[in-house]
């Protein structure tokens, strides 16, 4: 006999509007994640906390809300960082393509104008500096009569070298991220081990005043550790050149 969850999955999977509804909600959530991550984090944290409070009590609800909000904000930062990396890679590629077009005999003025317009489409400081360097290169070619394609080739090569430096920095800081994630997972692993051994730490943690105090201190220290790790990561990559 088919179970109820299986029948529900089959019903939802065969409903003609279900894929469109899922896609609509996914698009809406991703848009909110990019434009208003704090509001989305607050809404989802409260949504997760209400049923948790009913089932497991206020301490569990508070922990659930905090971790849910932190997860949403971390996802927003990850998406913003990925978009920034993509913008920078596109800006560098635009300069390289411009140099190749001029080397192939394209009209310089329209090609340079189109590239500048493309670079102006983002407010990222690295992209702005790339645009400024392009403007400086064009200015030198106009005032000193230097070959535009040759100078742009050199600029494109410099940008590729800087991209390699950025990749190296990302690789070198991967250990910091791995350590932070491991430390963040250790409390959960400890609780799971305690439950497996039969000591029932969750009952003490969630349903006693002493446990609630320990949970508050633990969550505070864990969030402080994650913030500290992030500061170390930012300091390690602060020397990245555009």
Contact assessment for residue 49 and residue 64, using Cβ atoms and an 8 Å cutoff = yes
The pLDDT profile of the chain, 242 residues, written as one tens digit per residue, is: 556 556 555 555 555 565 666 677 677 777 777 788 888 888 888 888 888 888 888 888 998 999 899 889 888 888 888 888 888 888 888 888 888 888 887 777 788 888 888 777 777 888 888 888 888 888 888 787 777 778 888 888 888 888 888 888 888 777 777 887 788 788 888 888 888 888 888 888 888 889 889 889 988 988 888 888 888 777 766 544 44
Per-residue pLDDT at 44: 86
Decide: helix, strand or coil at residue 15. coil
d(CA 91, CA 18): 39
- DSSP line for 155-208: HHHHHHHHHHHHHHHHHHTHHHHHHHHHHHHHHHHHHHHHHHHT--HHHHHHHS
- Look up the pTM and report it: 0.74
Contact assessment for residue 133 and residue 151, using Cβ atoms and an 8 Å cutoff = no
Contact assessment for residue 202 and residue 195, using Cβ atoms and an 8 Å cutoff = yes
CA-nearest of 112, 118, 110 to 98 is: 112
Per-residue pLDDT at 106: 73
Q: What are the structure tokens assigned to 219, written together?
A: 């969550």
């Amino acid at each position: 006999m088919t179970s109820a969850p299986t029948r529900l999955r089959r019903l939802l999977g065969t409903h003609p509007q279900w894929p469109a509804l899922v896609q609509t909600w996914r698009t809406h959530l991703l848009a909110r994640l990019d434009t208003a991550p704090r509001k989305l984090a607050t809404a989802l944290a409260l949504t997760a906390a209400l049923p948790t409070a009913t089932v497991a009590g206020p301490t569990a609800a508070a922990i659930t809300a905090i971790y849910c909000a932190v997860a949403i904000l971390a996802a927003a930062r990850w998406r913003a960082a990925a978009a920034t990396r993509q913008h920078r890679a596109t800006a560098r590629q635009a300069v390289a393509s411009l140099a190749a077009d001029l080397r192939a005999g394209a009209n310089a003025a329209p090609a340079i104008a189109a590239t500048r317009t493309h670079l102006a489409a983002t407010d990222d400081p690295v992209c702005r500096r790339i645009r400024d360097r392009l403007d400086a290169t064009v200015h030198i070619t106009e005032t000193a009569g230097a070959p535009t394609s040759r100078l742009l080739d050199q600029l494109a090569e410099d940008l590729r070298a800087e991209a390699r430096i950025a990749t190296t920095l990302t690789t070198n800081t991967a250990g910091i991220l791995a350590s932070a994630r491991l430390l963040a997972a250790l409390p959960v692993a400890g609780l799971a081990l305690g439950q497996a051994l039969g000591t029932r730490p969750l009952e003490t943690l969630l349903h006693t005043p002493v446990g609630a105090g320990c949970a508050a201190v633990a969550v505070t220290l864990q969030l402080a550790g994650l913030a500290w790790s992030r500061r170390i990561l930012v300091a390690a990559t602060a020397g990245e050149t555009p």
